[in-house]
Structure 1
Amino acid sequence: MISNNTPMDPETFRSFGRQIYGHEIWLGDVFKEDGEICVYALYGHKMVPDKPMPTDYAKPVLYDDNGRIGNPDREIVKEPHGWKFSFEDKGADVYTLYVDSSSVWVTDEEGWHRGVKRDFSQVKHAGAYVMVAKRIISRDGKNPGSVMHAELEIVPSKAKLSVGEDAILTVYYEGKPLPNHKVLCFCHATEEVQFLNTDGDGVLRYPVKEKGDYIFIVKFADESKKVDDEFDETAFTTTLTMETE
């Protein structure tokens, strides 16, 4: 987590601040280039990109069939306006890419500020905000692998979606299914947003009606994860981007 004393440029300050008001990061198009697998990472809301945060504040984590491997290369690109992550394809059946980002924000009578409670007076709320974006890159389009890296996870039953069938995903928090919990489901083709709940076993079923990309977003606030003089709770946001066959 970034310390309170770490310098932050105005653009990053603005970007992190907007996280409090519903923004998220997600992983977009996947493609091959010069023998490498490339993935765009974007920041914004409902798949509408905003300006990217500097790469130093976005931490990529990559897994293959045997566990965590070296971090991918990364660069900021203008089209689309975000990050580009790339790594050598060494033949794994499944790669799972995550991008993590975390910060602490305080709200008082003057607005919101990056920092911890002890540095401000008359604090209304302070939260640690953890954003995670996830994308599964599967060679056969079916095997989703078994990686669970994030504290708040979305795990699909297969790597790609099929039009006319239900997407089946399980939401986990700290390794346990999260029952009766709201998930935002976004269809890129129609820009339709649906809020659906997981069932008693933490499983979500979402009908896939259009070809293209879908994003699933889950949020969870844990008041037990607090530090008395720093923040009141930890708020997690995880996004999983999937595509149809």
Structure 2
Amino acid sequence: MPSTAAGVPGSPPVHVAIIMDGNRRWARARGMPGVMGHRRGADSVRRAIRAAVREGVRYLTLFAFSSENWRRPAMEVGELMNLLRFYLRKELTELHKEGVRIRVIGERSRLAEDIRVMLAEAEALTEGNTRLDLVLALNYGSRWEITEAVRTLVDAAKAGHLDATAVDEDLVARHLGTAGIPDPDLLIRTSGEQRISNFLLWQLAYTEIVFLDVAWPDFDEHHFRAALAEFARRERRYGASSSAQVG
């Protein structure tokens, strides 16, 4: 579901997604353990949310923990989970006060029970907020998400609840974790890496991508605005010819 408001010249992107990369490299470059990079990265999350609100962005999706991140050392995974707990306890009241709605996409079953409870409580508390939708991708992998959608549709067809000929792009999109959320207009990836990393593969079909050569712990509102400025310079065609071309 591409957003339309971002197609208006001079308007900010409706939906910005961010792959928050470079925490461990930032820490190693300073002789620190990797967990220090993740802790400093939490400060950048606050700055990104603040910048999104100030710039009029309506949806902000953060790739907080991928399904592949479980392969990291157990101590690092534990630290990331503890950071998530700390962030939810410390920031939830302020986010709610600022009109931020929290939404979560990803497979929750592998997350600890107390985290699942905290996430559900955060979603319930902030459900009516409309200033910014903060979408947290936790234990998320896009191939898993698409596979789950296909499996659900196949099961519905087998049970006689769905005519297979009725399956189209809109129906698939309605069975993804991002159902009801417009596709990202802009994807930002930090740390200079230039890949998608199994993130929102379906939703990024026509997204503009900006790669920033800054580690996530150093990301601030200046970098956010620079990415938005680059987005504003681009012509979004959704597969059509450029308006500057004739015929």
Question: Where is the strand percentage greater, Structure 1 or Structure 2?
Answer: 1
Larger RCO (alpha carbons 8 Å, 6+ apart) = 2
Q: TM-score, normalised by structure 1?
A: 0.28
